[in-house]
Structure 1
């Protein structure tokens, strides 16, 4: 779906304002106000409400959701806040340093817009079945809404753990909400994804107008990821294999073109946010501007670390992932300027970089038509490899990881045991670098040195040691990660504003 489209997106107002007055004027019906009682009256209105659900993936402006997709990079060893101006998006930098409080504005935004998406999805799921439209249409629209509701809950549970579970549109008269166990959230995610997968078509069956909508493959792929997060290895391996065998996705796109603005919805795309340039609407993405050098008209955030750069040295994917100070990019940028005086690492993210001729001439930060890939086939193959390893099927694991390696001309792996698992982890880091996965991967994975700990602790300890010791690059001496506390930072705090609004029925995560 388009991120925003004036024919498809509607803001549904549902808060009833109750006035008591003896004035005849105030007792008159409000003219021109859309109310739920007379909405969902035809297919067009149902689709507009559904489009609002899609729009919540990347709302109207950059700060509402787009920025938080970068947290998976900056809260890991792959990237820093980037922009070294301390007062510029200070709370974003505090996330990167693990100096996190319940008042952090980006935590609030993530919670707020995830529940906005859930609310919109609940409206569709409740009202479309009663609409005067065909049963086939109802089934498809509700299935897409369930997929998007599952996506929103996935984002919430992986960031906050226990959260309120809302399956009906919340009203002002409902009781204060409480958090429920994460296991129940995962259970609902699985149910919604299974329901969606039963009704949605495969990508190959979609018409041109439907490209970008949720598909059966997308629902099943997110179900695989939900299984992996819960360490349901058998279910994850089996389902991932089934998706592979459909032949719906492949790795035929060369790695440097995967994120190209000229390759939307490529062969390996399972689900991505659709964008478009429009002279009036803010229907694009902020990510290229947000991560680009300030010397190149960008804002300079989420800059890759030298640790990641060194890790990828010699890997064919490095140049399509990182631009370093002085690198040749293209004829317009033969020696790239990262504006070192305001860049923590002297690098920027190549995957979100857009060439000069492809940039909008106005309002670029909200109108760049670069689709944002949320799930791709290489990710699925590496999840299958990880699950297969845990099930003792090393041959299957090697086969999947080698498919990813072969695409970029690397030789196949032949390792086994703990080394094979480490190789799978390393492959995830190189293939998916700077796509927002690293922090979430590390915190769900068990440590290699200390299996009772998370990999995140091991990695951040090593990262701090590197930055304060052996590192002699632009980011040397940066103590990022030194505040990381495994007993606290595997989850983010519940926004204090939400606790206050609930009068304390919503409780805080440990350590905050």
Structure 2
């Protein structure tokens, strides 16, 4: 009986395939064929826009990469930042900040470059669209090489006839490729002032080149790219550091940004994940600045709080600080959305550890929160744009590269002066050695670029991660009220309900996914994994 039933089913399958052969040869109704995309300019642009959407940014995730550095912690222990990265458990089968999947994006870019280039579409469109796709491909390779070092360099859309067992290309060749691509396409792309926000411009080429060459330690090239952006005259330092990070797009300091419309299909969820508890976002309070970060902000007179001449008062610890502190961190007494934060334990609405949904450090992240948004936003409703490249970074890149070439030169001081003038901070004191200046520039990047996805990568490229992170617990503040009504600030509260941070030598390079190692016999793993 079983044999008869199986025979009957098989016969139906054969008949079904035979009867529907004409139907199966038709184009799917819910998809657009490759030939259609590359013969229609509007469809080709839509596909290119989809590749744009694959540029990584942190505003849609549970936490910022600062949360795995000395800048911040994540309050939820189940999130991968605390569960995997901080305790040093990154491995070939579990790497929350891996980007190996960007080879799918590179495949799309390669295909677009080839197919559009061969198409009969308008020549002007083809030229610009292909240049944008090459920029995207360069950006994806930057994300790969900064994580993994040597990576396979694939610059064409592979077919079934190609050898898929591609070995790793030396990192120096990948940096060469990124540099040459950006050099070749910058004259093709339009200038920032002539295009809509969110589009790739020639200045975006230079900005990516500035950052990439800084990571590659190609100092002269970094200086060159940085100067091109600065001297283009297309950008100005935004007069208000805080408002810069609340804009929805178009700030005059921003070189390239990712725009959001506040709708589920093109919004981001930063407010949902990071608003303090009393502003009620169910997933909120995830990015909790550390006391170490707070202490690193100088006084407004340019002196560190450890300097006896700084004027720092431990009883009024948040008065008279670098203005960038107030734009980046929410603390007890900070005015946000029209009212003062109350983190006084145990009853303050945003007191440390009041519930499992409150900050574990006593601080909340302010940068990138939208003060104009509604209370308790839903996922995807946030509209603040991601400032991927901005002029302030270009000055810092220029200063760092210049200091490596011409220690503590006038260019270094002048570049930092532009950064500090914006917030009325005095410049770095004169007469520093190269090593002293290097230390000051590291500090300046930490302050100026806090919560902008730089700290983790800066520590790695400086080879400072073991020194700064390994074997450390970081601290927060417990604010209590004294009998006389004055406040007491315990800034030695150890955030020890989260794992001890582990950063080993092997972590300077990320592990290649185990599944890809298994598929490709020519793909070697990074040391230690």
Bin of the TM-score, shorter chain as denominator length: 0.7 to 0.9
Give unpaired runs (5+ residues) of structure 1: 1-18, 446-453
Matching residue of 2:191: 202
Among candidates 510, 517, 524, match of residue 499 of structure 1 = 517
- Report the number of matched residues: 463
List per-residue Cα deviations over 1:326-376 (Å, max 9, x = no partner): 533232564362662333322222112122x524987x3223111111111
Q: Find the counterpart in structure 2 of residue 396 from structure 1.
A: 411
Task: Specify whether residues 325 and 163 from structure 1 end up closer, same or farther in structure 2 by C-alpha distance, changes over 3 A only.
Answer: farther
Shift of 1:92: 5.5
- Counterpart of 1:159 in structure 2 is 147
Conservation of the 8 A alpha-carbon contact between 1:253 and 1:266: no
Q: Tell me: CA distance 1:120–1:332, structure 2 relative to 1, closer, same or farther (3 Å).
A: farther
Instruction: Give the whole-Å Cα distance in 2 for the aligned partners of 1:162 and 1:252.
Output: 38
Distance 1:48 1:83, change over 3 A: same
Distance in 1 separating the partners of 2:175 and 2:381: 35
Give the superposition deviation at 1:307: 0.6
Structure-1 separation of matches of 2:360 and 2:225: 42
Match of 2:310 in 1: none
The alpha-carbon distance between structure 1 residues 392 and 479, as it changes in their structure 2 partners (threshold 3 A), is farther
Secondary structure, aligned partner of 2:96: helix
Q: 2: CA distance between counterparts of 1:473 and 1:282?
A: 43
C-alpha deviation, 1:261, in angstroms: 3.4
Structure 2 residue corresponding to 1:457, chosen from 463, 466, 475? 466
Question: How far did 1:21 drift?
Answer: 9.5
Q: Name 1:358's counterpart in structure 2.
A: 373
Deviations 1:245-282 (A, max 9, x none): 111111133111110135x231111111111123xx42
TM-score for both structures, normalised by structure 1: 0.83
TM, length-normalised to structure 2: 0.80
Match of residue 250 from structure 1: 236
Query: What does residue range 108-507 of structure 1 map to in structure 2 within 5 Å?
Result: 110-112=99-101, 114-171=102-159, 174=162, 175-206=164-195, 210-262=196-248, 264-278=249-263, 281-295=264-278, 296-297=280-281, 298-312=283-297, 314-324=321-331, 327-332=334-339, 334-335=341-342, 337=350, 340=353, 341-342=355-356, 343-355=359-371, 357-359=372-374, 364-392=378-406, 394-415=409-430, 416-417=432-433, 418-445=435-462, 454-460=463-469, 464=472, 472-477=491-496, 482-485=501-504, 487-500=505-518, 502-507=519-524
In structure 2, how many angstroms separate the alpha carbons of the residues matched to 1:268 and 1:475? Answer: 38
The whole-number CA distance in structure 2 between the counterparts of 1:230 and 1:349 is 31
**C-alpha RMSD over aligned residues:** 2.8
Q: Which residue of 2 aligns with 1:449?
A: none
- Match of 2:361, SS state, is coil
Asked if 1 retains the 8 angstrom alpha-carbon contact of 2:517 and 2:524, the reply is yes
C-alpha separation in 2, matches of 1:47 and 1:83: 41
Which residue of structure 2 aligns with residue 67 of structure 1?
61
- Structure 2: give runs of 5+ residues left out of the alignment: 1-13, 299-320, 344-349, 477-489
Task: Report the 3-state secondary structure (helix = DSSP H, G, I; strand = E; otherwise coil) of the residue aligned with 2:271.
Answer: helix
Counterpart of 2:242 in 1: which secondary structure?
Answer: helix
SS at match of 1:373: strand
Structure 1 partner of 2:25: 29
Q: CA deviation at 1:231?
A: 1.3
Larger radius of gyration: 2
